[in-house]
Structure formats: structure tokens, C-alpha cells
């Protein structure tokens, strides 16, 4: 066996069904990949939250709160959570036939199927930035202190949050005068006051 294959094993030699690299947000599915979830931040957080959970399972309400960073109201949010789970399952199936079965929902519990082996590649604790643990409101203010004005889409991309969570945080910040906003629709821009 060559030295290169010792350091970098061939993808077909990867034994787990699903490898999730939390640092680069990349996925390997049954030896194929890497696939990027950069264009799908909600799906990336959804998959990351599910595979990071104890026993690879958690209640739908806890999953929603972790992914969207807002309190769960089943009357309003249950459909949104199920649609996102369906999109994740479709994404997995599109990249590796048969992988949609990896994500299961039963009796309000979202889990990884028992026969699916998962490996999570995580950053070391000192690489996790403090800003990732800060509340969303503080992260919005910090982003706008760095550069203003920014559109909602630019803030979403910088912070890696959903539009719904961002709208909630920015609305509260505008109401208490911490940030300002101008324009409407696509022309809407947020700035530090």
C-alpha cells in the first residue's frame, strides 16, 4: 500500500454510512463525497443537531429550538420542522440512493436509524469561537459594528441563521433602538445606530 493511501484513505474504505465534518460542513455518504451543505444552512444545522444529540435522537421541539433559535410553538412551527426534515431526507437521497432512511421521525422524536453508523468530526474546544455561543441579538450587533449597512441576506450568510430567527432578532433590536433599518423588501438595510 502506498504512503499516500495510508494518510488519505480511498473514499470506498470509509466504513461509516454518514460522516459529518462540523468544521467544514461537509458530508460523506457511504464512502462518497465530500458533499457541501454551504448552500443549505438550515439543512446543515438540522443534520448537525441530529447527529450531535445524545443517542442520536431528540424531540422535535428541541430540534426546532436548536436549529431556528426560537421557542417552539407546535401550532405554528410543526409543519416548518417537518418540511425541513423532508428536505434533508431528499438531499441525502439525491446524493446517495437509500440514505433518506437515515433520518426517522416517530412519535415526535427525530433520530438516526439504528442501522446507520454515524461519525462526527468535530473541532477542538479551543477552535470554537465565542461568537458562536453568543445570543443571536449580540451577534447581529457585532456584525453590524464590523460593517454597516448590511441587507438581511448578508446578515443571514454571515451569521449562518435562518431568515425567521434573524427577523425576530432584528425586529427586537430595531424596537429597542440598538440598530436602525432603512428601505423595504430587498432594499432593506440594517445599520448600527
Q: Are residues 154 and 112 in the same domain?
A: no
What pLDDT shows up at residue 85? Answer: 92
The region, left, alpha or beta by phi > 0 then psi within -120 to 50, assigned to residue 68 is: alpha
Q: Are residues 51 and 134 in the same domain?
A: no
Compute the residue count for the chain: 193
Q: Are residues 117 and 149 in the same domain?
A: no
What pLDDT shows up at residue 128? Answer: 47
pTM above 0.85, yes or no: no
Specify the CATH number for the domain of residue 60.
1.10.10.10
Residue 179 C-alpha cell reads as 440598530
Residue 158 vs residues 47, 131, 153: alpha-carbon distances, Å:
20, 12, 9
Please, which residues have CB within 8 angstroms of residue 163's CB and are 6 or more apart in sequence? 152, 156
Phi, psi of 111 (to 5 degrees): -150, 170
- pLDDT tens for the 193 residues of the chain, in order: 434 434 444 444 456 788 888 777 788 888 787 888 878 888 888 888 888 887 778 999 999 998 888 898 988 888 999 999 999 999 989 988 888 888 899 988 998 888 888 888 765 554 444 445 568 888 888 888 888 898 888 888 778 777 778 888 888 999 999 999 888 888 889 998 8
Q: Are residues 67 and 150 in the same domain?
A: no
What pLDDT shows up at residue 8? Answer: 45
Residue 148 in contact with residue 192, Cβ under 8 Å? yes
Task: Name the domain count of the chain.
Answer: 2
Give the residue from 102, 121, 140 where a domain finishes: 121
Beta strands in 45-174 (DSSP E): 57-59, 103-106, 109-112, 118-121, 150-151
SS3 (DSSP) at 180: strand
Distance CA 98, CA 186 (A): 39
Identify the DSSP state of 2. -
- Angle value at C-alpha 51, between 134 and 43, nearest 5 degrees: 70
Give the residue from 76, 95, 121 where a domain finishes: 121
Distance CA 11, CA 32 (A): 6
Q: Are residues 19 and 37 in the same domain?
A: yes
Distance CA 188, CA 169 (A): 15
Give the residue from 68, 87, 121 where a domain finishes: 121
Q: Which domain holds residue 155?
A: 129-192
Q: Are residues 171 and 81 in the same domain?
A: no
Amino acid at each position: 500500500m502506498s504512503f499516500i493511501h495510508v494518510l488519505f484513505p480511498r473514499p470506498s474504505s470509509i466504513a461509516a454510512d454518514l460522516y459529518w465534518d462540523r468544521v467544514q460542513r461537509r458530508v460523506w455518504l457511504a464512502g462518497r463525497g465530500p458533499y457541501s451543505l454551504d448552500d443549505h444552512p438550515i439543512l446543515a444545522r438540522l443534520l448537525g443537531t441530529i447527529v450531535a444529540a445524545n443517542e442520536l435522537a431528540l424531540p422535535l421541539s428541541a430540534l426546532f429550538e436548536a436549529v431556528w433559535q426560537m421557542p417552539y410553538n407546535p401550532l405554528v412551527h410543526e409543519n416548518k420542522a417537518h418540511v425541513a426534515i423532508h428536505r434533508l431526507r431528499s438531499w441525502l437521497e439525491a446524493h446517495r440512493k437509500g440514505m433518506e432512511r437515515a433520518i426517522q421521525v416517530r412519535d415526535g422524536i427525530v433520530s438516526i436509524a439504528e442501522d446507520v453508523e454515524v461519525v462526527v468530526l468535530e473541532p477542538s474546544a479551543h477552535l470554537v469561537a465565542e461568537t458562536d455561543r453568543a445570543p443571536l441579538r449580540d451577534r447581529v450587533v457585532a456584525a453590524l459594528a464590523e460593517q454597516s449597512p448590511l441587507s438581511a441576506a448578508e446578515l443571514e450568510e454571515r451569521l449562518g441563521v435562518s431568515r425567521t430567527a434573524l427577523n425576530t432578532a432584528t425586529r427586537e433590536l430595531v424596537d429597542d433602538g440598538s440598530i436602525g433599518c432603512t428601505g423595504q423588501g430587498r432594499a432593506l438595510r440594517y445599520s448600527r445606530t
